[in-house]
Amino acid sequence: MTQIIRFLNIKNLVGALKNSLDGLLHGLKSERAFQQEVILLVVGSITAFLLTDTGLERAVLIGSIAMVLIVELLNSAIEATVDRIGSEIHPLSKNAKDLGSAAVLISLLTAVVLWLIILV
């Protein structure tokens, strides 16, 4: 048992969980798009349960919205990193932010397509 505890290194796992929860709370408190997408996840989850009959369909619908949240958090991390580096206008900074935004857009469009395929 001691070997398992050493292998898992519970202290590091707890620290990593705390960091993850800190990031999630920051997103909920500070990122408007993330807040809107959390509301979309709640409403979408309820809707998925009301409009579908199979667990697979529900998983795809809810998972597609959850993927949007994941991409939004990564986009926010990119934006924070770029802002931390400097406030001057630079083409690479613009590219990084635009690419992150494009990733969010693609995840949203993918979610919409999946919802249309399953529900229509």
3-state secondary structure of 108: helix
Burial of 116 (0-12, 13-18, 19+ CB in 10 A): exposed
Rounded to an integer, what distance in angstroms lies between the CA atom of residue 44 and that of residue 51? Answer: 10
Contacts of 108 (CB under 8 A, 6+ apart): 68
Residue among 35, 19, 42, 27 nearest 73 (CA): 27
37 is catalytic: no
Alpha-carbon dihedral angle through residues 37, 38, 42, 45, given to the nearest 10 degrees: 60
Given the residues 31, 37, 57, 72, select the one marked as catalytic: 72
Q: Which residues are catalytic?
A: 72
